[in-house]
Chain A
Amino acid sequence: MIETLLVFPAPPPPELSQCLDQNSWVWKAINNSNSAIEDQPDTGWGGGVIVADSDPEGALALCKELRQTENPLVPILLLISKGQISKFEINENLFDDFCITPFYPEELEARLNNLFFKFGKGLQPELVKYGSLVLNIETYQATIDDSPLDLTYMEYELLRFLATRPGKVFTRETLLSEVWGYDYYGGGRTVDVHIRRLRAKLGEEHANLISTVRSVGYRFGQSRWGS
């Protein structure tokens, strides 16, 4: 199971959310320790990414609060600017690793993976579940009603992108740039073609997992408003 990352502040800097999305982290942004408790997922937080470069004192205070509870938040990755390094008290054990801003997305991803590994998180196969659909992120396999779905790479990537963000509506353009990458030519039509193939492979019974939102784009699963 992917554990949800706590991200501070809300909304996080766009380069951070983009990096987390691209690497399929599930995350929720919070603005203070109260909402860290209120918004906590049922399974608890999987770890935290705290952006400290704009307001280092506030960020460290939050770290303190998150650590000094019965269930201290681990691991915490701090994003700080170069000039701030010397000011941090390493011995207070308020965070587990840090990354200098502006960060390299590859470095941030590697550090997060390393932290998760060290803290024994994310060792179980990463599964994304929605109803009877299960995606194993590790092995690229997808099953529905326990029988395997035979997907091409792009079909799998599209399904993974959608299934990790249920209820959200994506335009064709967003899907193109997020799933295919910027240098792809086919245009929005390519998205339609793949959605249609995915629906066909999901089978009649489950084809409605992906719904078309008229003149906007596509949504996986139920709308957040229950329609």
Chain B
Amino acid sequence: MNKIQENRNHAQFDYVFRTVEERGVRLIRLWFTDVLGRHKSVAISPAELETVFEEGLQFDGSAIDGFSRIQESDVLARPDPSTFELLPWVADDEASGTMFCDITNLDGTPFAGDPRQVLRRNIDLARDDGYEMFCAPEVEFFYFAEQENGIQPVPLDQASYFDLTTMDVASDLRRHTLHMLEALSIPVEYSFHEDGPSQHEIDLQYTDALTMADSVMTLRLAVKKIAMDRGVYATFMPKPLNGVQGSGMHTHLSLFSEGKNVFHDPSGSLSATGQSFVAGLLYHAREITAITNQLVNSYKRINEGYEAPRYVSWARNNRSSLVRIPIHKQDKPDSARIEYRALDPSCNPYLAFSVMLSAGLKGIKENYELPPEATTNLYDMSRAEQKALGVASLPANLSEALDEMEESDLVREALGDHIFEWFLRNKRREWNEYQRQVTPFEIEQYLPNW
């Protein structure tokens, strides 16, 4: 670490100490993420802060999904002071701060099971090539009325697009959520009802991939917490209702080099570098889908259609395409971007951004050629017609996605052996359990007839 970096870190630690002192912070929550993308938290007192900054907080990783290893299970949580925030929903007399952590081995090397370290590594690899990725996800989710007998998908309201009444519970929730997110340094562009009942969307304003992955974690927590306080259950499950479109996380991506957006082309279309990036995403799309869409349920959303893509294709304006390349204004080079539409909000954002970045960069490095645009609606075509166009489908279910991932050197390299192998084992088990279930569909369809 160079001198300036050291001073910067010192100043950041000092900033956290002073704020903790001045604002009477009683508790500091250290946040990290398991391999499946679930939020984990350990609380420490201000008295422990100095030691934790210096030495890290040692804990047994074997209780965390994806952290366990054969021999040594102790790891260190090292808080990242640049992420320090005061929790806005806590009363002033119980002020709490939070920081995201990097997980390291006891010898200080990055812990291979930590998704945040995986994304850091991929970001560093991109930097070696001179690139920095910026992301802006659009996160969809549902609000359901809380029930006495467990969680049931009962929609809060039947409001449709832009429908708003002052009595609307959902709009109160939305206002509070936006307020809280802004207080947590997560500005959002706007949010409104999508077509589904009780479905909402929050569009995050672009930022660098690591900050954005942290923000997605914070957003999911904040949305759930604020809903729970009002007796409402918020869910990021990709497809909670039959016959109603699922929740996606369409993510806009752009790539910068030396302060310039390399997706920009003076003509207003996507630059050659951008085209290779998209080609990389398309070429590796089937391999990365297990990561971008990690639940059995994720494929119910993909198969249903609506705004979810089923086909590995791109278009300027076509809802069924996997990648959308919006036309940007020529005088706004920074707004050149592409939109990857497969992701759903149940994904682990650190891992999802890692594989997307890795696939796109592979396309640039190897100069992949962008296939022709899918100009017609692929949903209306027969499979034979699609095949003639050379259009592949995304995996139809988790099992197929895992098969694709298992064969992928790209995903293995992006995630590292530890997470790659743990993820496959864990998800195979999930799929096998699901396969053994007798579903309501079967009871309904078969019981009366056979």
Contact = CB atoms under 8 A, between A and B. Distances in A.
Contacts of A44: none
Contacts of A196: 187, 205
A180 to B, nearest CB: 9
A91 to B, nearest CB: 39
Contacts of A189: 134, 206, 256, 259, 334
Interface string B181-207: 011010100000000000000000111
Contact of A152 (B2, B82, B132, B258): B82
Nearest to A152: B185
Given A141-B19, A201-B182, A193 B132 contact: no
B244 interface: no
Contacts of B132: 185-187
A200 B208 CA distance: 18
Interface in B150-201: 182-183, 185, 187
Contact of A150 (B16, B81, B88): B88
A197 B187 CA distance: 6
Contacts of B221: none
Contacts of B83: 152
Given A148-B23, A196-B187, A196-B205, A153 B81 contact: yes
A153 B82 contact: yes
B39 interface: no
A141 B4 contact: no
Contacts of A120: none
* Residue of A154, A185, A190 with most partner-chain B CB within 10 A: A185
Contact of B15 (A140, A181, A188, A193): A140
A141 B258 contact: no
A95 B187 CA distance: 51
A152 B85 contact: yes
Task: Sort chain A's interface into a size bin.
Answer: 20 to 34
Interface stretch (B5-13, B30-38, B66-74, B299-307): B5-13
B18 A140 contact: yes
A155 B185 contact: yes
A153 B187 contact: no
Contacts of A132: none
B219 to A, nearest CB: 14
Nearest to B92: A148
A227 to B, nearest CB: 23
Contact of B206 (A139, A154, A181, A193): A193
A182 interface: yes
Given A139-B18, A189-B134, A154 B259 contact: no
B84 interface: yes
Task: Sort chain B's interface into a size bin.
Answer: 35 or more
Nearest to B5: A183
B5 A200 contact: no
B52 interface: no
B15 A200 contact: no
Contact of B8 (A139, A172, A181, A197): A181
A156 B86 contact: no
A158 B222 CA distance: 26
A182 B8 CA distance: 12
A187 B19 contact: no
A65 interface: no
Interface in B53-105: 81-86, 88
Interface in A179-221: 181-183, 185-190, 193, 196-197, 200-201
Contacts of B84: 152-153
Nearest to B211: A193
A155 B184 CA distance: 12
B153 to A, nearest CB: 33
A46 to B, nearest CB: 23
B82 A193 contact: no
B182 A200 contact: yes
A156 to B, nearest CB: 7
A156 B84 CA distance: 12
A61 B424 CA distance: 79
B99 to A, nearest CB: 10
Contacts of A97: none
Contacts of A21: none
Nearest to B21: A139
A138 to B, nearest CB: 8
B2 A183 contact: yes
A156 B211 CA distance: 17
B22 interface: yes
A183 to B, nearest CB: 7
A187 B258 CA distance: 7
B127 interface: yes
Interface string B344-363: 00000000000000000000
A141 B18 contact: yes
B86 A150 contact: yes
Interface in B96-128: 127
A153 B207 contact: no
B19 A140 contact: yes
Nearest to B87: A150
A181 B259 contact: no
B183 A150 contact: yes
A193 B4 contact: no
A97 to B, nearest CB: 24
A207 B211 CA distance: 23
A185 B130 CA distance: 9
Interface in B311-355: 334
Interface of A: 139-141, 148, 150, 152-156, 172-173, 181-183, 185-190, 193, 196-197, 200-201
Given A182-B4, A189-B134, 8 more contacts: A148-B23, A153-B12, A156-B15, A183-B5, A186-B208, A190-B207, A193-B208, A196-B187
16 contacts: A139-B22, A140-B19, A148-B23, A150-B85, A152-B82, A152-B185, A153-B81, A183-B2, A186-B132, A187-B260, A189-B256, A189-B259, A189-B334, A190-B207, A193-B205, A193-B207
- Report, nearest first, the 5 A-B pairs whose CB atoms are least far apart: A187-B259, A200-B182, A153-B15, A150-B86, A200-B187
Interface of B: 2, 4-5, 8, 11-12, 14-16, 18-19, 21-23, 81-86, 88, 127, 132, 134, 182-183, 185, 187, 205-208, 211, 256, 258-260, 334
